[in-house]
Amino acid sequence: MTKLSVNINKIATLRNSRGGNNPDLVKVALDCERFGAQGITVHPRPDERHIRYQDTFDLKAVIATEFNIEGNCREQKFIDLVLANKPAQVTLVPDTEGQLTSNHGWDTIKEQAYLKEMVAIFKNAGIRVSIFVDPVIEMVEGALATGTDRIELYTEAYASTYHQNKEEAIAPYIAAAKKANELGLGINAGHDLDLHNLHYFAQQIPNLLEVSIGHALISDALYLGLENTIQQYLKQLV
């Protein structure tokens, strides 16, 4: 079964909007685990507009499932944060400064030397590494050369065209996943996956290990409740 890692950035955004500690981010993370999530994901950014750097330390101290820290490894503060916390997994995302949300994968060919260096830093610390990539065969092949353990397929393109033609939308992801399997790379996925498109994606992608879902899941929880929502997402992965 594909694991569900819940991204709790949006919980932090809500908390920060009033300046206090409501909702309590650590409690929500623990509740997500209690409700069945197999991992917790955070994506701290330099302006700390949602996840604060201190949150990462607080979460690391209590999380019993898999802890995944996403972010831009071009920021030294991010590198230091990951090495200080040693999560189960670090996901390297090529964000630019001030970027609202992740919107593209790494060019694993042009950035190969740099990514090799970054991957080695984290793997030498005993942290599993995943690289955010678009569903392009060449980018998957380039990822292998960096030494990464996994790739995370950036799924916005799939989600945006799923309702028009799901077979066409999934095709490049199947091809990328088959290549990753052939090369021995683990496969994660994330971005805009939801209760409408997740089941089909999970059924079509061979050996999908993990999905990281935040915005849609937290939005659904407003109507369905957090426990019920997590259970509904888990059902999509069976």
Per-residue confidence at 104, pLDDT binned at 50, 70, 90?
A: confident
191 in active site = yes
The structural domain count of the chain equals: 1
The answer on pLDDT for 81 being more than 80 is: yes
What is the rounded distance in angstroms from the CA atom of residue 9 to the CA atom of residue 68? Answer: 12
pLDDT for the residue numbered 99: 47
Provide mean pLDDT across the span 89-93.
97
Domain that holds residue 129: 3-236
**Cβ neighbours of residue 57 closer than 8 Å, sequence gap 6 or more:** 84, 85
The answer on pLDDT for 211 being more than 80 is: yes
Helix axes 226-236, 215-224, angle to 10 degrees: 130
Point out the catalytic residue in the list 43, 50, 66, 152. Answer: 43
SS3 label, residue 238: coil
pLDDT for the residue numbered 101: 52
Per-residue confidence at 179, pLDDT binned at 50, 70, 90?
A: very high
Render pLDDT for 125-147 as a digit per residue (tens, 0 to 9): 999 999 999 999 999 999 999 99
Per-residue confidence at 98, pLDDT binned at 50, 70, 90?
A: low
Judge contact between 5 and 40, C-beta under 8 A.
yes
50 in active site = no
Render pLDDT for 23-46 as a digit per residue (tens, 0 to 9): 999 999 999 999 999 999 999 998
> Which backbone phi and psi does 126 adopt, to 5 degrees?
80, 20
Share of the chain above pLDDT 70, in %: 97
Point out the catalytic residue in the list 33, 70, 152, 210. Answer: 70
Look up residue 176 and give its amino acid.
Answer: A
Per-residue confidence at 236, pLDDT binned at 50, 70, 90?
A: very high
CATH, residue 214: 3.20.20.70
Provide mean pLDDT across the span 174-181.
98
Point out the catalytic residue in the list 33, 66, 152, 191. Answer: 191
43 in active site = yes
The answer on pLDDT for 96 being more than 90 is: no
The answer on pLDDT for 103 being more than 90 is: no
